[in-house]
Amino acid sequence: MKVTDFTLGLMLLVVAAAMAIAALSFPPMPGQAFGPKLFPNLVAGGFALCAFALIRRAGKAKALKLGVVTPDWWNEPGRRGNLAILLGSIVAYTLLIERVGYVLTTFAMMVLLMKRLGASWRATLLAAFVGTAVTYLLFAYWLRVPLPSGLLNGIVR
């Protein structure tokens, strides 16, 4: 579904205002000219600029309408099922990752989604293995992010 530019611009403007208001409560950093308010305010300013650009573009196109436009693919067979599987897999991933572990959950989700998209078993298993291994090494070793080991406790760090 496509949100109209005007609607998206208004939503971005609300988010930018909420970020700026929330940043007002951040305490100053002693001994520094800038503090924790700086980054959220910079992001809020960027959001506001994007919002104004979207609203301006909608105004030039004389399309100042609130709403959502459904794309052509929305009525094609299987597309809504793909969307439901994607959203369901995100929820399942979130619920399972602590118990089952990063490696097994990531591998299983990649296999499920790639097979749903019609990839061959060879390509699916290779991509799921390489993708899981590379992201695990990247996060666990290079970035030192603790990932849940789950069922593989003692086998993976």
Do both 62 and 78 map to the same domain? Answer: no
Query: Range of 57's domain?
Result: 2-69
Identify the band that residue 87 occupies on the pLDDT scale cut at 50, 70 and 90: very high
Residues 78 and 139 placed together within one structural domain of the fold: yes
- Whether the pLDDT of residue 98 is over 70: the answer is yes
157 part of a folded domain? no
pLDDT for 155 beyond 90: no
Q: How far is CA 108 from CA 23, 115, 125, 148, in A?
A: 40, 11, 10, 15
Percent residues over pLDDT 70 in the chain: 98
State whether residue 3 is helix, strand or coil.
Answer: strand
Same domain, 26 and 6: yes
pLDDT of 82 > 90? The answer is: no
Are 114 and 56 found together in one domain? no
Q: Are residues 28 and 86 in the same domain?
A: no
Residues 87 and 114 in one domain: yes
> Do 63 and 7 share a structural domain?
yes
pLDDT for 1 beyond 60: no
**79 and 126 assigned to the same domain:** yes
pTM over 0.75: no
Residue 111 has pLDDT above 80, yes or no: yes
Query: 141 and 81 in one domain?
Result: yes
Q: Report how far residue 5's alpha carbon sits from residue 58's, in angstroms, rounded to the nearest whole number.
A: 6
Looking at the domain assignment, is residue 148 inside a domain? yes
- How many structural domains compose the chain? 2
